[in-house]
Amino acid sequence: MSYKHQVAEKIASALVHLGVDSLTKENVYNMLETPPNPAMGDIAFPCFQLAKALRKAPPMIAAELTEQISGAPLKEVKAVGPYVNLFLDQEMVAQQVISTVLSQGKAYGDSDLGQGRNVPIDLSSPNIAKPFSMGHLRSTVIGNAIANIMEKQGYKPVRINHLGDWGTQFGKLIVAYKLWGDEEKVKAEPIKELLSLYIRFHEEAENDPSLEDQGREWFKKLEDGDTEAKHLWTWFRDESLKEFMKIYDLMNVSFDSTNGEAFYNDKMDRVVQLLEEKGLLTESDGAQVVTLDEYDMPPSLIKKSDGATLYATRDLAAALYRHETYDFAKAVYVVGNEQRLHFQQLYKVLEKMGYPWAANMYHIPFGMMLKDGKKMSTRKGKVVLLEEVLAQAIADVQKVIEEKNPSLANKEEVSRQVGVGAVIFHDLKNYRLNDINFSWEEMLTFEGETGPYVQYTHARACSLLRKGNYQPESQTSLAPGALDSKEAWAVVTLLNAFPDIVERAGDNFDPSLIGKYVIDLAQVFNKFYANIRILAEEEEIKASRLQLVAAVTTVLKEGLRLLGLAAPEEM
């Protein structure tokens, strides 16, 4: 239990003595503030909210409350106007926080909230036979980080790559391949070659509209299970997935399932049948819909007038399949903000079908990746390919290493970790709903709020441990006064906050809280490094300060891991 939780418990208990039993420990915890000036205390509790219940002025309540609060981990409690200001016993807190971090290691901040229950997470989901652009980066890294955070909370994430692998475009691609395709070229550069065939199809179709009919015919053959159509489609899919896996491997992202749109083809008739049985289907202009007037939403289209099923049908089939397969605690969809209405409709249709578990389904929207302030577009040639960005980032980091540390032992591995990490962190440090402007300069600098800055701080701390010959097994009680500085206390305070940050990041599906946290921890550690002689002459003082450094490396490494970044020990 963090010290903030312990303080909340003491205040809640003191309030009962004063006759207020309506505030739970959680209510009190959420009311706690951090004073703007450390001289005013470590934690402050405002008493304004209690004035009505106790029929007293807030300063009087603060004075009475102060009398009721004492004991570890507090050193002093003061009433300052309408606030109760609480000062922690810094030496005791530092000892407990550091020993907890060092004894628990990467498990620091773990919880059993999820009790091992499944959470399918729909993430990444690129379209096969098309390039993996920077636009797909967001769903991939946000979803992967959410999966890591939920795993830390005791859930069992099931990472699902719901590939875009069905639709009329595959009929067009089959026609293009049969007319102009070259097997060897597709094998050599699958995505590039398939995309050029797809583009050529549209160019030729402007002069020869019959190509569009041929495309529809071949997709119909594919739907009907034609052997040649199915063989080509499977080949396109497999080759695309191999290319995507190169990028996923580079980013250290893996999946438990790559069941895409095509997987649900034989599961949609059941959805239509269930909707019919429940009397939910209505005809509208020849199409079959589920009306959602009571929720002020447009109807959800289930079947077009020509009998073709739609995205909604497919996603209803996927939801049923995932619930039956995983019996999930939550189901998470990391999909762009523009799909918000679609998911709202999906959950309401499931609710109308009588499935209470629909309440545990969450759409996690995110903003766009912009270039020069504008949306990236494949058709207008404004797309930025993720593979090229990662390769360029790695090459740029290699140049920096050659200039600054050419004798580094594992240069290639570190270049990959820092280059890829820079791209991932550039996304995740931002709140997911914000649009992000793609910027090389901002992404790759070793200063400021970047991945390389946090990774470099971790490497610097590891270097200190090596220089000081730190031995993890020789952990002892902290020497009196060793961490008696505002710089050391700032580090201890942040280390203590890590479990709460993980909890909030999980509850809000918000990896940026971890991103901001590791930046803050790196910054306060660098102040400590700049102002305090860590490798002091006195052996006990040095050993104590190195224990704090070791705790920082543990938490920085774990924070970076949750975001999907490696933490090199040398840079």
Judge whether 152 lies within some domain.
Answer: no
> Among candidates 64, 62, 91, 99, which has minimal Cα distance to 75?
91
Domain membership flag for residue 276: no
370 phi and psi angles, rounded to 5 deg = -105, 155
Query: Which of 88, 121, 140 is the endpoint of a domain?
Result: 88
pTM for the whole structure: 0.92
Q: Looking at the domain assignment, is residue 178 inside a domain?
A: no
Per-residue pLDDT of the chain (571 residues; tens, 9 = 90+): 678 889 999 999 999 988 888 889 999 999 999 998 888 999 999 999 999 989 999 999 999 999 999 998 999 999 999 999 999 999 999 999 999 999 999 999 999 999 999 999 999 999 998 888 777 899 999 999 999 999 999 999 999 999 999 988 999 999 999 999 999 999 999 988 998 999 999 999 999 999 999 999 999 899 889 999 999 999 999 999 999 999 999 999 999 999 999 999 999 999 999 999 999 999 988 899 999 999 999 999 998 877 666 889 999 999 999 999 999 999 999 999 999 999 999 999 999 999 999 999 999 999 988 777 677 654 444 567 888 889 999 999 999 999 999 999 999 999 999 999 999 999 999 999 898 887 777 777 778 899 999 999 999 999 999 999 999 887 789 999 999 999 999 999 999 999 999 999 999 999 999 999 999 999 999 999 999 999 988 999 999 999 999 999 999 999 999 999 999 999 9
- Domain closes at, from 68, 88, 108: 88
Q: Which H or E element spans position 126?
A: none
| Rounded CA separation 185/145 (Å) | 36
Residue 63 lies in a domain: yes
DSSP-assigned letter for residue 434? S
Does any domain span residue 533?
Answer: yes
Q: Does residue 24 fall inside a structural domain?
A: yes
Q: Of 88, 103, 120, at which residue does a domain stop? A: 88
Phi and psi, residue 270, nearest 5°:
-60, -40
Q: Which domain holds residue 54?
A: 3-88
* Number of domains making up the chain: 2
Instruction: Output the domain CATH number for residue 69.
Output: 3.30.1360.70
Q: Find, among 117, 143, 473, the residue nearest to 327 by Cα.
A: 117
Contacts of 275 (CB under 8 A, 6+ apart): 281, 288, 290, 302, 349, 353
C-beta of residue 260 within 8 angstroms of C-beta of residue 254: no
Q: Does the residue 174 lie in any domain?
A: no
- The CATH number of whichever domain residue 442 belongs to comes to 1.10.730.10
Whether 527 is in a domain gets the answer: yes
Query: CA 247 to CA 494: how far, in whole Å?
Result: 34
